[in-house]
Amino acid sequence: METFDYVIVGGGSAGCVVAARLSEDPGTRVLLLEAGPRDLHPAIHIPAAFPRLFKSGLDWDYHTEPQPALGGRSVYWPRGRVLGGSSALNAMMWVRGFRADYDAWAERAGPGWSYASLLPYFRRAEDTEGAAPDDPARGTGGPVAVSHLRDPNPLTRAWLKAAGEAGIGPLDAVDADEGVTETMATQRGGRRVSTADAYLHEARKRRNLVVRTRMRCTGIVFDGRRAVGVSYLRGRDPLTAAASREVVLSAGAIGSPQLLMCSGVGAALQLSTLGIPVVVDSPQVGQNLQDHLISGIAARAKRRVTLAGAQSLSSLARYLLRHRGMLTSTIAEAYGFVRSDPALPLPDLELLFLPVLFVDEGLKIPTEHGVTLAAVLLQPDSTGEVHLRSPDPSVPPAIDPWYLSDPDEHDAERLRVGIRWCRRILAQPSLANELGELFRPAGVDGEELVEVALRDLSQTLYHPVGTCRMGTDAASVVDPELRVRGVDGLRVVDASVMPRIIRGHTHAPTVAIAERAAELMRAGL
């Protein structure tokens, strides 16, 4: 059995950061275990190709429990199963969220998680195109390239103009609260920058960092209540790696709670029912699941300029020769924030524009030219859970986000307002002149359209968080330093620790969480 100082489970958005930062100390031996393969698939690196990775061997291919508020549908949840994790197949949008989101974290988990406290970690991570080195808000020189789109679609500019015509101004600051803007993306030179690209590839040259792919973790090894290593499979061969300092779970909002529960950290009654010996009775493990639900409308385009043309030989040739053209698109090329009620202190809806017919949960390759306008419910009152179906960690857990389940139905009404915003923008001259009839929903209008879109077209924005929430309270899964309560030598570092989902996209704060966690570990905290 090999012994390392740190064993990290999960080479995704957080795990790559933690492994790279801890291994900067040449006296520290680090093992990173990733269930998926290396990030060699060409569709990872071609930005607009990421939907082709859905349901591939690089995707965990999760599905939720049937959702009563969505017509009983099970919702597809892609999650990255490859070095870089979900940062290797996301839409590359770098959207931090609002200052108030992090200040709310600080109220629950201590001052180290406030916006002011996390800003240095955002800036440390970022290499923002066009930002001055002394910019107090944006980082430069960091490992994560945050770039302007190289070739925005002409209909993206039309949507931005139409939003202005509908009364939504420009979003003119990195932490501004309301308005619309073109997406900035984790790309460099027209290629995706995952956390494997940004942090891990150079770090792997260090002798003190060992990265092993296609290694499925099967559990945490405890000596009493101290985590001393992990068990994992290489093919069918069971192996164990010892950790003299800490085991770090960075398996994400589904994988991390599943591993905790399979290893005996969770609700004692459920674990005992499944025959799992209880190490710590921690009922909040797997609870507090939150996600961004998105719905909207799609319309056919009059001009053949949308991303349906990205599949052409000329588009591929342009990308391969110059890293330009449609294949550099993030697909979601513009976004903005609005309020469902003018009396609200902050926006509760995000609007997205996609110059393509993004339908059927992104699983249908578009052949017709069209666009998608979508609304995102930013901070739902509805919360769900992840729970075990089996003590076998190879069996996917049950995922139940309980979308739109809040008893007052505030979530559904707010998302309805968002869909109405999409219709309003669609009707403005700058966009309406470019578009034809509705593609989805078809054959309905008015409030019937809103209800059909809500029930039949809503899907995830791929942002599950919260299932190992941090907090100062004794019931929280991890403490403010992200150490698992009730045991020693075990930490969780990923999106699962967020106590409340942010009003932005979750990749940027996950990287900031990992940056701060690595600093805490190196300081012995």
Q: Are 282 and 266 in contact (CB under 8 A)?
A: yes
pLDDT given at position 1: 82
Split at pLDDT 50, 70, 90, the class of 381 is very high
From residue 271, how far is each of 65, 93, 210, 238, 485 by CA, in Å?
Answer: 20, 38, 33, 23, 17
What average pLDDT is seen over the chain? 97
d(Cα 287, Cα 15) in Å, to the nearest integer? 22
pLDDT at res. 446? 94
Sign, Cα dihedral of 187, 93, 147, 141:
negative
Give 177's pLDDT tier (boundaries 50, 70, 90): confident
* Strand-pair partners of 384: 289
* Tokens describing residue 33: 């275990």
Rounded distance between C-alpha atoms, residue 194 and residue 190, angstroms: 13
At residue 172 the predicted structure's pLDDT band, cuts being 50, 70 and 90, is confident
Residue 120 CB partners (closer than 8 Å, separation 6+): none
Note if the bond before 441 is cis, omega within 30 degrees: yes
C-alpha 36/C-alpha 83 separation (Å) is: 7
Residue 150, pLDDT above cutoff 80: yes
DSSP 8-class letter at 166: T
Q: Which domains does the chain have, with CATH numbers?
A: 1-145+191-251+464-525 (3.50.50.60), 151-188+293-377+405-457 (3.30.410.40)
Instruction: Give dist(CA 232, CA 235) in Å, integer.
Output: 9
Rounded to whole angstroms, the Cα distance separating 171 from 178 reads 6
205: pLDDT strictly greater than 70 = yes
The percent of residues in the chain predicted with pLDDT above 70, rounded, is: 99
State the Cα–Cα distance between residues 460 and 292, nearest whole angstrom.
6
In this prediction, what percent of the chain has a pLDDT beyond 90?
Answer: 98
| Residues in CB range of 240: below 8 A, 6 or more apart | 1, 221, 229, 230, 231, 232
d(CA 442, CA 298): 9
**pTM for the whole structure:** 0.97
Residue 147 has a CB neighbour count (10 Å cut-off) of 22
If you ran DSSP here, which 8-state letter would residue 291 be given?
Answer: -
pLDDT at 175 over 90: no
Does the pLDDT at position 176 exceed 90? no
438 three-state secondary structure: strand
Both tokens of 161, joined, read 């103009």
CA distance linking residue 269 with residue 283, whole number of Å: 9
Q: What is residue 174's predicted lDDT score, i.e. its pLDDT?
A: 62
Helix (H) or strand (E) holding 375: strand 370-377
pLDDT at 173 over 80: no
User: Can you say how many angstroms the Cα of residue 85 is from the centroid of all Cα atoms in its chain?
Assistant: 10
Q: Considering 41, 369, 463, 505, which one is annotated as catalytic? A: 463
Measured distance between the N- and C-terminal CA atoms of the chain, rounded to whole angstroms: 27
Residue with token string 């955002």: 122
Nearest CA to 201 among 406, 73, 45, 387?
45
Angle (deg, nearest 10), helices 507-522 and 115-125: 100
**Region at 358 (left for phi over 0; alpha for psi -120 to 50; beta for the rest):** beta
User: Is residue 463 annotated as a catalytic residue, yes or no?
Assistant: yes
Structure-token pair, residue 391: 């003590």
Residue 439 has pLDDT above 90, yes or no: yes
Q: Mean pLDDT over residues 333-359, rounded?
A: 97
The rounded distance, in Å, linking the Cα atoms of 406 and 381 is: 6
Task: Give, for 333, the enclosing helix (H) or strand (E).
Answer: none
